[in-house]
């Protein structure tokens, strides 16, 4: 692993670092994203050479970061117990604990700071070991100290991105929490009783049936977040929009050489769904040949990559949806009976919104608040006549159409109350 520039000694307040391995992803914080464009971070510098510590402290302070310096790994570990930094610049070769040993100790303390290892004597072995322990980057002390600035900025952008993802994931989980679902209609109350029960079983396949737009995917996510698989991924694959070949490649993945253009192994969505949920959206539209290849996936959790010779066992729950009546599709010869029986272990029917008019107003109010925040409008209520209009509308597009109607109404509304005039699509 060679430097891209010549090396020289550092002295006084001038020292340097050049990037050796800029792609290693490490630890991160799980907090909300700051609004300002330039992130002011807390950065700890650990190095046994006073001149180098002073040089880094001067540079990082000029970048408006809060900086603390330490001369040993032991000093750092004592401080981390009280003050958690965003980034740690850690020297590899120090008296006492080495950088690798300090990194191991940080890992055991569940420290989520990004760690950048620094050394004047870097080796490939050191870099590999650092990566295994979760280091974000591994840099050689060389040339110009200013080379550190883009590395720090990249690390901070990584932190910002991770915080945004964590924030979005946290709010997504809240959105699909069972306690946030308070249906008023008898049909939905009965359905949610069933949902609570099936969510307790992390392996049984679930078949969600209902018209387009009734919220089958939403309910699948509710089931996912209500069970023990909530910490795993929710992976969706469309059975409608993908060709059979693309569906097979995306779902199962493939080995190198499996077909023309397969230059390397690619993991499929079944690999990605490990410990979580695989959602087969509108399975009734799936090609008959591909239906047969799902039998093992659903019955035993076993699959084989394209071009592979070994069966792979996966740990995931399968939830499928269909707007078609699969029992009728089986009778017509368009859907495999063996696949239907495996999917139909726990069938749940999502009723159309015209059969649960009690839920129209609370859903409309929820969408009103959502789009009020997005559009920056202080709309607080829906006129009673407009409520009646919504409740008398047939909603052929179901909940999805209601959401679209409310979004358009929020755009048109000029006051604080939605009126009939704001609902041209619901008359």
Choose one of 114, 135, 163: the last residue of a domain. Answer: 163
CATH of the domain at 82: 3.40.50.2300
Q: Which residue has the higher pLDDT, 366 or 32?
A: 366
CATH of the domain at 209: 3.40.50.300
Question: Does any domain span residue 140?
Answer: yes
Which range among 136-150, 319-333, 343-357 shows the weakest confidence by mean pLDDT? 136-150
Whether residues 312 and 200 fall in one domain: yes
β-pairing, 417-418 vs 381-382, is parallel
pLDDT band at 217 (very low <50, low <70, confident <90, very high): very high
Question: Does any domain span residue 2?
Answer: no
pLDDT of residue 358: 95
Q: Which domain holds residue 196?
A: 176-351
pLDDT of residue 295: 92
pLDDT at 6 over 60: no
Q: Which residue has the higher pLDDT, 263 or 7?
A: 263
Write the pLDDT tens digit of every residue in 34-90.
333 457 889 999 999 898 899 899 989 998 999 999 999 999 998 987 888 999 999
Q: What is the largest CA-CA distance in the chain?
A: 84
Q: How far apart are CA 247 and CA 243, in angstroms?
A: 6
Whether residues 360 and 344 fall in one domain: no
Choose one of 128, 163, 198: the last residue of a domain. Answer: 163
CATH of the domain at 372: 1.10.8.60
Question: Does any domain span residue 6?
Answer: no
pLDDT of residue 27: 28
Whether residues 140 and 103 fall in one domain: yes
Whether residues 325 and 182 fall in one domain: yes
What average pLDDT does this structure show over 217-233?
Answer: 93
List the structure tokens of 11: 């002295």
Whether residues 49 and 130 fall in one domain: yes
Whether residues 64 and 185 fall in one domain: no
Q: Which residue has the higher pLDDT, 140 or 214?
A: 214
Whether residues 189 and 218 fall in one domain: yes
Question: Does any domain span residue 417?
Answer: yes
Write the pLDDT tens digit of every residue in 110-126.
788 889 888 777 666 77
pLDDT at 180 over 70: yes
pLDDT at 32 over 50: no
Residue 393 φ/ψ, nearest 5 degrees: -80, 145
Whether residues 336 and 193 fall in one domain: yes
Number of separate domains in the chain: 3
Question: Does any domain span residue 287?
Answer: yes
- With contact defined as beta carbons under 8 Å apart, do 281 and 332 qualify? no
Whether residues 221 and 286 fall in one domain: yes
Whether residues 363 and 331 fall in one domain: no
How many other CB atoms are found less than 10 A from the CB of residue 350?
A: 23
pLDDT at 361 over 90: yes
- Supply the mean pLDDT for the chain: 84
Question: Does any domain span residue 230?
Answer: yes
Choose one of 351, 373, 400: the last residue of a domain. Answer: 351
Which percentage of the chain shows pLDDT scores above 70?
Answer: 86
pLDDT at 168 over 70: no
Question: Does any domain span residue 4?
Answer: no
Whether residues 207 and 341 fall in one domain: yes
Whether residues 322 and 385 fall in one domain: no
Instruction: Enter the pTM of the model.
Output: 0.63
Which percentage of the chain shows pLDDT scores above 90?
Answer: 56
Question: Does any domain span residue 418?
Answer: yes
What average pLDDT does this structure show over 96-114?
Answer: 85
């Amino acid at each position: 692993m060679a430097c891209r520039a010549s090396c020289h000694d550092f002295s006084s307040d001038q020292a340097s670092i050049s990037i050796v391995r800029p792609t290693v992803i490490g630890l991160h914080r799980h907090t909300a994203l700051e609004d300002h464009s330039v992130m002011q971070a807390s950065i700890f510098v650990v190095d046994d050479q006073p001149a180098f510590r002073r040089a880094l402290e001067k540079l990082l302070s000029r970048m408006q970061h809060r900086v603390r310096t330490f001369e040993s790994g032991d000093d750092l570990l004592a401080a981390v117990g009280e003050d958690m930094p965003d980034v740690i610049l850690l020297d590899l070769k120090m008296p006492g604990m080495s950088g690798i040993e300090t990194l191991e100790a940080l890992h055991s303390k569940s420290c989520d700071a990004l760690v950048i290892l620094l050394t004047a004597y870097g080796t490939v072995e050191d870099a590999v070991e650092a990566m295994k322990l979760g280091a974000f980057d591994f840099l050689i002390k060389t040339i110009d100290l200013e080379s550190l600035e883009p590395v720090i900025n990249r690390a901070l952008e990584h932190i910002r991105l991770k915080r945004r993802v964590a924030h979005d994931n946290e709010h997504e989980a809240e959105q699909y929490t069972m306690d946030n679902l308070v249906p008023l209609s008898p049909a939905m109350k009965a359905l949610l009783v069933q949902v609570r029960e099936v969510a307790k079983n992390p392996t049984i396949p679930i078949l969600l049936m209902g018209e387009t737009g009734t919220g089958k995917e939403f309910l699948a996510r509710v089931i996912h977040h209500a069970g023990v698989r909530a910490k795993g991924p929710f992976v969706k694959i469309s059975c409608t929009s993908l060709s059979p070949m693309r569906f097979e490649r995306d779902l199962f993945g493939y080995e190198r050489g499996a077909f023309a253009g397969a230059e390397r192994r690619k993991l499929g969505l079944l690999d990605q769904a490990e410990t979580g949920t695989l959602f087969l959206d509108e399975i009734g539209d799936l090609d008959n040949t591909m239906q047969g290849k799902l039998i093992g996936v659903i019955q035993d959790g076993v699959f084989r990559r394209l071009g592979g010779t070994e069966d792979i066992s996966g740990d995931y729950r399968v939830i499928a949806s269909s707007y078609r009546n699969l029992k009728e599709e089986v009778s017509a010869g368009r859907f495999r009976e063996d696949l239907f029986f495996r999917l139909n272990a726990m069938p749940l029917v999502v009723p159309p919104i015209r059969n649960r008019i009690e839920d129209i107003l609370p859903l409309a109010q929820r969408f009103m608040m959502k789009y009020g925040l997005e559009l920056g409008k202080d709309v607080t209520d829906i006129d009673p006549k407009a409520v009646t209009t919504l409740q008398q509308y047939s909603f052929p597009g179901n909940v999805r159409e209601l959401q679209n109607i409310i979004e358009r109404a929020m755009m048109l509304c000029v006051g604080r109350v939605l009126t009939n005039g704001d609902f041209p699509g619901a008359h």
